[in-house]
Amino acid sequence: MGFNYDVIVIGGGHNGVVASTVLSLHGLRVLLVDQNYSLGGLAGARTIAGVFSSRFAYVIGLVPRELNEWLRILPEMYYPEPNWVELNENDEIVFRWWSDETRLVSEFKEHGIDIADLFRDLRRFWKCYKEYGLYYTPIAPSREEAVQILDKCRVSYLVAKTAREILSDYMPRSYWDYFIYPSMLDASGFVLAYYMQNNNVWGQPKYSMLSFSRILRQRLGENGTSMLLGTRVEEFLFEEGVVRGIKTADGTTIHGRAVLFAAPITSLLDIGGYERLEEWEIRSIGDAKNSTTLRSRVKRIDYAFSEKPSPPREPGWRGTPVYVKWSSSYGGEYTYIEPVRDTYLVQFSGFAEDVFEVLPPGSNEKALKTYDVRDARNQVVCCRNYTGHPDHLPMIDKYLFDKRPVPGWNDYRTSIPCLYHGSASSYPGGEINGVAGLNAAIRILLDFGIEPRLPGLVRVLCEKGSRSKWSVHC
Ligand SMILES: Cc1cc2nc3c(=O)[nH]c(=O)nc-3n(C[C@H](O)[C@H](O)[C@H](O)COP(=O)(O)OP(=O)(O)OC[C@H]3O[C@@H](n4cnc5c(N)ncnc54)[C@H](O)[C@@H]3O)c2cc1C
């Protein structure tokens, strides 16, 4: 069989784009396929009241500095001070999170909490985690392996203990939500470190995630990746038990030496040919796909106003911080977007059954033009994310480290030869950070016998790669 492409990437979310870029930069012929006409997946954009607005994700905080520098994937961003603020029921500011660590440590001191040691340990953790090849790696470590290695840097407790145990050593319960979502408290402290990788500082792309998806598209164009947008993949093509291409919804067949599945892992069961997986693997993925307990209740709501809402502000406020509000009936985050013509957008993301009965702080009901609610069902339509979970699969012990997305798939290979995975469903996990896409691409390069050329990252990547447990090479 002649190959049209070396690698076919299914899924044009940011992980699929990062993977495609890395593979193309190494001279491979890459085709990226997405069912949508625009890139970005859950981190894409759409319009409301004629104005571009983030589709689901709206702030960026977890892209590692070196990956950002290498791929230049971040657009211009707002990093206001304070970075985000918490409001009480009366819309008064009760806590400010500063991008500047010294100011942040002082803020906590004013609340009688000393977090300087925790921040020192988190810095040490990330240096160690990267230098010992635990983060940028084509083989996800086990929790035990991570603990053993982190011991060298005296920060293994950040993985060995649960997030709850670590936080309770430092502060009262009422402050924990600043660091981590309650559903992750009983998981390894890794999730705490994961969400704190840039000191929990988040930025907003200036023109919503539209800026982000445009940058992603630009990177692909620069590196010569071919794209097939608005096209759903329906089947895998096989040759002697090995995946060698795809069939799209319109019946087109495209041959490739390998296929990277960069979509939510639960949607793998939508693609004909998945039946060749082991029965227990299908059950494990199917359980997540159909689980009602895993299903996220996160909603995104955009409100479009004809006049400017006035949220509580810090003196000298510039840009647009995130306003976090917890009340007895709902909890979530509001962001106020730069106006476009006469439309002022406020985005809400959070947990609420009846949140659209509550208007954003500082807004006038009479000025509300329209609103748009996005829930788990919209995520299925948009991106085939059946759990509705921001991380595709929750960041709980069952799905952490080498168990993500399925035990035994910790090297970005599935059990079907030449079918790889690399999305938020893969190690290290969800949110916008691009590491899963990068690691999956490195795995493919190694399997193709190509030496990865990634300044700064290459040494640890290759060391880990040489420990590869499988001998299948595509
Ligand atoms: C409500 C919400 C709010 C969030 N907020 C934030 C935030 O503010 N900051 C942050 O960092 N993260 C946030 N996240 C998480 C973040 O958006 C995701 O973790 C991340 O975007 C996942 O990227 P990905 O590339 O791995 O996959 P996805 O973005 O899910 O991309 C997968 C792509 O695969 C495509 N696809 C699927 N099946 C097929 C098929 N058969 N054929 C062709 N294409 C297919 C889909 O169309 C999609 O484009 C949020 C998520 C949600 C749901």
The 10 Å Cβ neighbour count of residue 304 is 22
Looking at the fold, whether 111 and 157 belong to one and the same domain comes out as yes
- Which of 359-368, 387-396, 441-450, 452-461 is predicted with the least confidence, judged by mean pLDDT? 452-461
Predicted confidence at residue 359, as pLDDT, reads 85
Does some domain include residue 14? yes
Domain boundary, last residue among 195, 215, 230? 195
Looking at the fold, whether 165 and 243 belong to one and the same domain comes out as no
Does residue 447 line the site of ligand 1, with CB under 6 A? no
Q: What's the mean pLDDT when you consider all of the chain?
A: 90
Question: Residue 146 belongs to what domain range?
Answer: 100-195
Best mutation site among 56, 217, 259, 372 for ligand 1, i.e. most ligand atoms within 8 A of its Cβ? 56
Does some domain include residue 430? yes
Confidence band of 65 (pLDDT split at 50, 70, 90): confident
Q: Are 430 and 404 in contact (CB under 8 A)?
A: no
Looking at the fold, whether 225 and 279 belong to one and the same domain comes out as yes
Best mutation site among 432, 433, 438, 439 for ligand 1, i.e. most ligand atoms within 8 A of its Cβ? 432
Whether the predicted pLDDT of 117 surpasses 60: yes
Question: How many domains is the chain partitioned into structurally?
Answer: 2
Does some domain include residue 252? yes
**Residues of 248-273 as b/e, b for ≥16 C-beta within 10 angstroms?**
beeeeebebbbbbbbbbbbbbbbbeb
Q: How far is the CA of 42 from the centre of ligand 1 (A)?
A: 3
Does some domain include residue 86? no
Does residue 391 line the site of ligand 1, with CB under 6 A? yes
Does some domain include residue 304? no
Give the mean model confidence (pLDDT) for residues 338-349: 89
Atom of ligand 1 nearest to the CA of 296: 53
Residue with tokens 């709902």: 330
Q: Radius of gyration over alpha carbons of the chain, in Å?
A: 22
Looking at the fold, whether 223 and 182 belong to one and the same domain comes out as no
Rounded to 10 degrees, what is the CA torsion of 387, 212, 372, 92? Answer: 100
Smallest Cα–Cα separation from 188: which of 394, 404, 397? 397
Q: How far is the CA of 227 from the centre of ligand 1 (A)?
A: 18
Predicted confidence at residue 332, as pLDDT, reads 87
Q: How far is the CA of 95 from the centre of ligand 1 (A)?
A: 30
Predicted confidence at residue 471, as pLDDT, reads 41
CA distance linking residue 271 with residue 157, whole number of Å: 41
pLDDT one-digit tens code per residue, 185-243: 999 999 999 999 999 999 988 888 999 999 999 999 999 999 999 999 999 999 999 99
Looking at the fold, whether 143 and 277 belong to one and the same domain comes out as no
Task: CATH number of the domain at 283, please.
Answer: 3.50.50.60
Looking at the fold, whether 180 and 232 belong to one and the same domain comes out as no
Looking at the fold, whether 158 and 208 belong to one and the same domain comes out as no
CA distance linking residue 97 with residue 202, whole number of Å: 10
Looking at the fold, whether 283 and 430 belong to one and the same domain comes out as yes
Contacts of residue 22, defined as CB under 8 A and 6 or more positions apart, other chains included, come to: 437, 438, 441, 442, 445, 452, 454
Best mutation site among 39, 212, 296, 431 for ligand 1, i.e. most ligand atoms within 8 A of its Cβ? 431
Whether the predicted pLDDT of 323 surpasses 50: yes
Give the mean model confidence (pLDDT) for residues 394-404: 97
Looking at the fold, whether 215 and 289 belong to one and the same domain comes out as yes
pLDDT one-digit tens code per residue, 234-256: 999 999 999 999 999 999 999 99
- Which of 18-22, 234-238, 318-322, 339-343 is predicted with the least confidence, judged by mean pLDDT? 318-322
Is 0.85 surpassed by the pTM of this model?
Answer: yes
Domain boundary, last residue among 173, 195, 217? 195
Does some domain include residue 340? no
Looking at the fold, whether 104 and 188 belong to one and the same domain comes out as yes
> How far does Cα 233 stand from its chain's mean position?
22
Does some domain include residue 375? no
Whether the predicted pLDDT of 470 surpasses 50: no
Confidence band of 454 (pLDDT split at 50, 70, 90): confident
Q: Are 23 and 46 in contact (CB under 8 A)?
A: no
CA distance linking residue 308 with residue 351, whole number of Å: 25
Residue nearest to atom 49 of ligand 1 (CA): 41
Q: How far is the CA of 396 from the centre of ligand 1 (A)?
A: 19
Looking at the fold, whether 234 and 288 belong to one and the same domain comes out as yes
Looking at the fold, whether 147 and 233 belong to one and the same domain comes out as no
Domain boundary, last residue among 195, 228, 246? 195
pLDDT one-digit tens code per residue, 350-380: 876 656 667 888 899 999 999 998 888 899 9
Whether the predicted pLDDT of 465 surpasses 80: no
Q: Are 40 and 281 in contact (CB under 8 A)?
A: no
Does residue 446 line the site of ligand 1, with CB under 6 A? no
Predicted confidence at residue 316, as pLDDT, reads 65
pLDDT one-digit tens code per residue, 270-314: 999 999 999 999 999 999 999 877 777 788 899 999 999 988 877
Q: Are 285 and 415 in contact (CB under 8 A)?
A: no
Does some domain include residue 71? no
Does residue 298 line the site of ligand 1, with CB under 6 A? yes
